[in-house]
Amino acid sequence: MAQNAHLAELSEAGVAVWLDDLSRDRIRSGNLQSLVDGHSVVGVTTNPTIFAAAISGSDSYDDQLHALAVRRVSVEEALRTVTAADVRDACDLLAPVAQASPGDGRVSLEVAPGLAHDTDATAAEAGHLWWLVDRPNLFIKIPATEAGIPAITETIANGISVNVTLIFSLERYRAVMDAYLSGLEKRVAEGGSLEGIASVASFFVSRVDTEIDKRLDASGADASLVTKLKGKAGIANAQLAYQAYEEVFSSDRWRALEAQGAVAQRPLWASTGVKNPEYSDTMYISELIAPGTVNTMPEKTMMAYADHGSPGTPIQKSYDDAAAVMRAVSDAGIDLDDVFRVLEEEAVQKFVDSWDELTASVRSELEDKV
Catalytic (active-site) positions? 141
According to DSSP, residue 280 is labeled: -
Going by C-alpha positions, the residue among 141, 319, 296, 321 that lies closest to residue 246 is 319
- What is residue 34's three-state secondary structure? helix
- Cα distance between residue 341 and residue 145, in whole Å: 10
According to DSSP, residue 144 is labeled: -
Report which secondary-structure segment, H or E, holds 33.
Answer: helix 31-38
How many residues does the structure list for the chain?
A: 370
Q: Are 296 and 18 in contact (CB under 8 A)?
A: yes
Taking the mean position of all CA atoms in its chain, how far away is CA 148?
Answer: 15
- Cα distance between residue 211 and residue 39, in whole Å: 31
Report which secondary-structure segment, H or E, holds 139.
Answer: strand 138-143
Sign of the dihedral defined by the CA atoms of residues 188, 252, 105, 1, in that order: negative
Crossing angle, helix 75-93 and helix 31-38, to 10 degrees? 40
Going by C-alpha positions, the residue among 196, 198, 121 that lies closest to residue 143 is 121
Torsion of CA 113, 90, 31, 352, to 10 degrees: -10
Going by C-alpha positions, the residue among 233, 199, 185 that lies closest to residue 330 is 233
- What is residue 330's three-state secondary structure? helix
- Cα distance between residue 148 and residue 120, in whole Å: 9
- DSSP for 35-57, written as a single string: HHHHS-EEEE---HHHHHHHHHT
Question: At residue 198, what is the residue type?
Answer: A
